[in-house]
Amino acid sequence: MTVAQEFEAANEKYAATFNEGGLPMPPARKVLVVACMDARVDPAKELGLSKGDAHVVRNAGGRGIAAIRDIVISQQLLGTREIVVIHHTDCGMLTFKDHELHAKVKSDLGENADHIAWLSFSDLEKSVAEDVVALKKNPLVLDVPITGYVFDVNTGKLTKVEA
Is 36 annotated among the ligand-binding residues? yes
Residues 88-117 within binding reach of a copy of itself (CB under 8 A) = 90, 92-93, 95-96, 101, 104-105, 108-109, 111, 113, 116-117
- The verdict on whether residue 88 carries a ligand-binding annotation is yes
* Complex with a copy of itself: residue 92 or 123, whichever CB lies closer: 92
6 vs 123 by CB, closer to a copy of itself: 6
Positions in 5-64 near a copy of itself (CB under 8 A): 6-8, 10-11, 13-15, 18, 20-23, 25-32, 37-42, 44-48, 51-60
If you count DSSP H runs as helices and E runs as strands, how many of each does the chain have, helices first?
5, 5
Beta bridge partners of 55: 32
Query: Longest Cα pair distance anywhere in the chain, in angstroms?
Result: 50
Q: Which of residues 61-80 bind a copy of itself (CB under 8 A)?
A: 66-70, 72-74, 76-78
DSSP, collapsed to helix, strand or coil, labels residue 27 as coil
Total interface residues for a copy of itself by CB under 8 A: 85
| CA gap 37, 50 in Å, rounded | 19
Would you say 126 or 157 has its CB closer to a copy of itself? 157
* Angle in degrees, CA 145, 137, 119, rounded to 5: 100
Residue (of 119, 121, 88, 127) closest to 102 by Cα position: 119
Question: 10 burial class (0-12, 13-18, 19+ CB within 10 angstroms)?
Answer: exposed
Taking the complex as a whole, the smallest distance from the CB of residue 146 to a copy of itself amounts, in Å, to 9
Nearer to a copy of itself, 50 or 123 (CB): 50
